[in-house]
Amino acid sequence: MIFNKMVPELSVSNINISKKFYIDTLGFKVEYEREEDKFAFISLDGVQLMLDEGVNGSWSTGITEYPFGRGINFQFFVGDVKNVILNLSNNNIKFFKEPFVSEYRIDSEMQVFEEILVQDPDGYLLRFSELQQKD
């Protein structure tokens, strides 16, 4: 397995609920897991995440309470954000922010992205973005 140079590990309150959300709803796949440790390494379109039911364990820097990950949003570049939106809608997941279009200057060029924001079961803010092709 090839690991990305950065792989966030998210402390979760219930590994089974988190796996259901990430795998069944968002379409991530399990690369490997250690069920005895309540740990899963998951991926989607080149994005890699680790989920660990180690809330307030030996790696915690403070007391973890909902919503987890305050002050951060994880941006995932995907090939089909409409599919993510459909999966969330079909599973009655409330959007943190309805689908929107953003325009960002990258060096001297403007890029347009279709985006959606959603919180996972522990309140981590997830932003899914798809680069829109120029006409």
Say which CATH number the domain at 101 has.
3.10.180.10
* Residue 18: inside a domain: yes
Sequence-ordered alpha helix ranges (H) in 8-122 = 15-19, 81-90
Identify the domain containing residue 18 by its residue range: 9-54+69-131
* Residue 4: inside a domain: no
Q: Which pLDDT does position 78 carry in this prediction?
A: 93
Q: Which pLDDT does position 58 carry in this prediction?
A: 65
Peptide bond before 67: cis, by omega within 30 degrees of 0? yes
Q: What 3-state DSSP class applies to 79?
A: coil
**Rounded to two decimals, what is the model's pTM?**
0.90
Residue segments in the chain with a per-residue pLDDT below the cut of 70:
55-58, 135
Number of domains in the chain: 1
CB 115 within 8 A of CB 101: yes
Give the span between the Cα atoms of 117 and 75, in whole angstroms: 9
Q: Which pLDDT does position 62 carry in this prediction?
A: 77
